[in-house]
Structure 1
Amino acid sequence: MSLTQRRAALAARIPGGRDGRRMLVVAFIDKTGTGLWAAAVALYFTYVTGLTVGQIGLLIGVSGAVGIAGAPLAGRLADRFPITRVLIAAQLLRAAALLALLTTDHYALLMLYSAIGTLPDRAAGVLTKLYAARAAGPERVRYQAINRTAANLGWSVGGLAAAAALALNTSAVYQLLLIGNAASYLLMAFLTSRCGEPKAPSRVVATSTTTPAAPLSNPWRDRTFLLFTATEAALFLDDTILQVAMPLWIIHATDAPVGLAPLLLVLNSVLVVALQVPLARFGATTSAARTLLIPLAALFAAGTLALAASATGGRWLAITTLVLAAVLLTFAEMIHATASWELSIALSPDDAQGAYLGVHGLAGAVQRSAGPLLLSAVIAAGPLAWPALGAALVATCAAQHRLVRQGLTKRSLSVPPVTVSEH
């Protein structure tokens, strides 16, 4: 087989066609740029704008709180306007807000621009997921897995480039990294403009001038979906455990070397890149995705037990159990990602898919805000707090398993929407 034929065969395996492949490039560029800036953001605010540690913490905290609104807002807009246009607007707003930081060192303005930038930043994940649901159709889980792999590769490339640049430790370097991230958003907007608009799900519309159109479904009135989103916020803790809690636990509670912390993050990225796509086939249907909640519960239980064991004594026991915990929780991360993608879409009615996915996006945003506080308390409480957290996560998996069954039963009993042409 020639190189051209191999490339064609590989492209054919990617759902969504040419536009789907372009969006994967967009995901790679997005995380490459984010990797450049994430490593430098605190240093930029310290050395370029002269903020104190307390000011930086408040700025990031307030911006994160404002950004929570980005996910539901993006979902609503995507139900009313072409999703590619909403994506382009979000990418341009991200670039503008970031470049605005270069124009001032006034604290109030820095906080304002940072808060504005978090809105489209949080929206991007929802919009990408919605695009996949529309463009890839039944293969949306596989597409999202490939998308996540591309994003992890981009994050690694951006992080390595930033590490090399930061060795120079100058204000000019921090400013260039900011500009590089902004440039990535502009490139993403251009590539998105080259993508076709995927077909949106059918909507209920008026069949005559005398019959009023049925209102769009409202996720805020859907008790089952709101409870599902609440359980999702808890299950997304795997991310904060790996990124935040584990390094702190290594430093404060174990005899493992501090240098193990970044190595475990590298291990996490390598496993996600290597296995996220193969694992996606186990959640290719709604029924299969719901079944994944059972092994997810087991992984949470085993992973938290391993973390508790890492503090029981000895350098090598700590290293062994921490590596085991990182592997178990990375598999939990991948399995939950697969199940979450499918179940959130399966529970979203076609006439308000964007609004529902926007509300679902709150789960990750809330977890990023509250998760570090919760896990700080777990670390302070000592080793026995980890099994308690694991038991709570197992109970959450069981609750979600039941909620999904109830939600799908309710949807199957509802009257399907009538699709008519709009003239």
Structure 2
Amino acid sequence: MLTIAFVDRVGSGLWASVSVLYFTYVSGLSIGQVGTLVAVAGAAGIAGAPLGGRLADRFPLTHVLITVQLLRAVASFALLTTDHYGLLVVYCSLGSLGDRAANVLTKLYATRIAGPDRVRYQAVQRTVANAGWALGGLTAAAALALDSTAAYRWLLAGDALSFVACALLTLRCHEPRSASRTVTTSKQPSPTAAPTGPWRDRTYLAYVATDTVLFLDDAVFKVGLPLWIAHTGTAPHGLAPLLLVLNNVMVVGLQVPLARFGATTAAARALLIPLSVTFALAGIAMAASATGGTVTTTLFLTAAAALFTLAEMLHATIAWELSVALAADTSQGAYLGVHGLAQSAQRSIGPLAVTTAIATGPAGWLAFGGVIAVTCAIQHRLVRERLTRGPLSVAPVTVSEH
């Protein structure tokens, strides 16, 4: 699965950095049309996580993942066949749906195959994925130097082929054991049993809501830093891509070592306190970057990028553990699918949050970091009662998958 993660992200790196340019220069769309297309596709993708998780509780996980990868491949190839706006929206929406489903399915696979070592496995997988993304991005940058529509089409084709390769590689993966496809020995759940599903589990839904806020750091690198650099006018314009490189290098080098601090459920919950402090400091650094000249601004922005990256890695470690520990064993796919909504929803909320911070100025960044810091504390308290009650599942009897 690590090889699959690498191939997947190489393909995504080829396409993600040039998709807007493709729709502009190859498909001939206006800025407004591109924005609407991206928004609609992102909204459609929100359904991918819960749908993928639900299917993985009913069918063999590897079979569902292969289907999703083929859906992504078909959607990408289909983009090459038309410049019709309506069809482009449909194909991008299908691709986004498959992308979000694949994300939760690979997490579920890691949870089932790695067991107690799931946090370290996820850390290694994320490191490999970031390396693949960087390779794909560098390849895309080199291809764009050709300045031709053919280069854009080949990058999109490469993305589609990467999904085909992922599907073929998944055929070789062992199907992990699952407690999801079970029956219970009694119709009456025990006093500590979880609700029948994540949508009736108020604690889990509240946890997902708080995690949506904690995922806002993603929007900082995609939207916040580039726009803030342009807004301040004192930072070098070439700083934004360098800060993205810093983010990538830190994740590749530090994600696995940091994972050991969240290897247990109690340790993961405890990490919410230093995470809260890190978010607060990151907001302060962003606010301070508007107070000086070029050198001062550059130093504070670099510090902010490093702090937000540290927060990103700590939160990833925490979320990998808590999202599973709070879930019922007999409905892991459904629960992780609902948790996937946090990251999907952030893609809509995040840009709005960071642009609001930018428009407000330094005080906006202080509030941005402060709100996320407070949310960390809220989550720390929220999960305490659930975790002290022990595992949330009824006694299962495994049913044959044949």
- Name 1:6's counterpart in structure 2: none
- Name 2:295's counterpart in structure 1: 316
Instruction: Assess if the C-alpha contact under 8 Å between 1:95 and 1:186 holds in 2.
Output: yes
Structure 1 residue corresponding to 2:168, chosen from 170, 174, 190: 190
- Name 2:336's counterpart in structure 1: 357
- Name 1:130's counterpart in structure 2: 108
Is 1:30 aligned to 2:8, yes or no?
yes
Deviation readout 1:260-296 (Å, 9 max, x if unpaired):
1111110110000000000000000000000000000
Instruction: Assess if the C-alpha contact under 8 Å between 2:259 and 2:317 holds in 1.
Output: yes
Deviation readout 1:372-414 (Å, 9 max, x if unpaired):
01110110011011111222112100110011112223455x6
CA pair 206-153 structure 1, distance change in 2 beyond 3 A: closer
Q: Which amino acid is 2:91 matched to?
A: Y
Task: Give SS of 1:389's match.
Answer: helix
Deviation readout 1:209-251 (Å, 9 max, x if unpaired):
xx76979831011110001001101000111112210111111
CA pair 212-226 structure 1, distance change in 2 beyond 3 A: closer
- Name 2:222's counterpart in structure 1: 243
- Name 1:97's counterpart in structure 2: 75
Counterpart mapping for 1:173-322 below 5 A:
173-201=151-179, 204-205=182-183, 207=185, 217-322=196-301
- Name 1:121's counterpart in structure 2: 99
Structure 1 residue corresponding to 2:122, chosen from 140, 144, 158: 144
Deviation readout 1:137-172 (Å, 9 max, x if unpaired):
110000000000000000000000000001111111
Distance 1:50 1:174 in 2: 13
- Name 2:357's counterpart in structure 1: 378
Distance 2:313 2:196 in 1: 30
Distance 1:311 1:225 in 2: 39
Q: Which amino acid is 1:43 matched to?
A: L
Distance 1:381 1:136 in 2: 45
CA pair 321-415 structure 1, distance change in 2 beyond 3 A: closer
Distance 1:63 1:223 in 2: 29
Counterpart mapping for 1:160-171 below 5 A:
160-171=138-149
- Name 2:34's counterpart in structure 1: 56
Structure 1 gaps, min length 5: 1-22
Task: Give SS of 1:348's match.
Answer: coil
Task: Name the Cα RMSD after superposition.
Answer: 1.7
Distance 2:381 2:294 in 1: 42
CA pair 216-226 structure 1, distance change in 2 beyond 3 A: closer
Instruction: Assess if the C-alpha contact under 8 Å between 2:180 and 2:332 holds in 1.
Output: no
Distance 1:216 1:130 in 2: 20
Is 1:389 aligned to 2:375, yes or no?
no
Instruction: Assess if the C-alpha contact under 8 Å between 1:165 and 1:173 holds in 2.
Output: yes
CA pair 418-124 structure 1, distance change in 2 beyond 3 A: closer
Instruction: Assess if the C-alpha contact under 8 Å between 2:75 and 2:91 holds in 1.
Output: yes
Task: Give SS of 1:384's match.
Answer: helix
Distance 1:191 1:217 in 2: 34
Q: How many residues align?
A: 397
Distance 2:111 2:362 in 1: 41
Instruction: Assess if the C-alpha contact under 8 Å between 1:79 and 1:355 holds in 2.
Output: yes
Query: Structure 2 length as normaliser, TM-score?
Result: 0.95
Q: Which amino acid is 2:174 matched to?
A: G
Q: CA deviation at 1:254?
A: 4.8
- Name 1:330's counterpart in structure 2: 309
Q: Which amino acid is 2:203 matched to?
A: T
Task: Give SS of 2:83's match.
Answer: coil
Is 1:46 aligned to 2:33, yes or no?
no
Q: CA deviation at 1:419?
A: 2.7
Instruction: Assess if the C-alpha contact under 8 Å between 2:330 and 2:393 holds in 1.
Output: no
Q: Which amino acid is 1:403 matched to?
A: L
Q: CA deviation at 1:92?
A: 0.2
Instruction: Name the stretch that deviates more: 394-403 or 195-204.
Output: 195-204
CA pair 78-251 structure 1, distance change in 2 beyond 3 A: same
Instruction: Assess if the C-alpha contact under 8 Å between 2:213 and 2:372 holds in 1.
Output: yes
Instruction: Assess if the C-alpha contact under 8 Å between 1:203 and 1:418 holds in 2.
Output: no
Q: Which amino acid is 1:407 matched to?
A: R
Task: Give SS of 1:419's match.
Answer: strand
Distance 1:420 1:358 in 2: 22
Q: Which amino acid is 2:106 matched to?
A: T
Query: Structure 1 length as normaliser, TM-score?
Result: 0.91
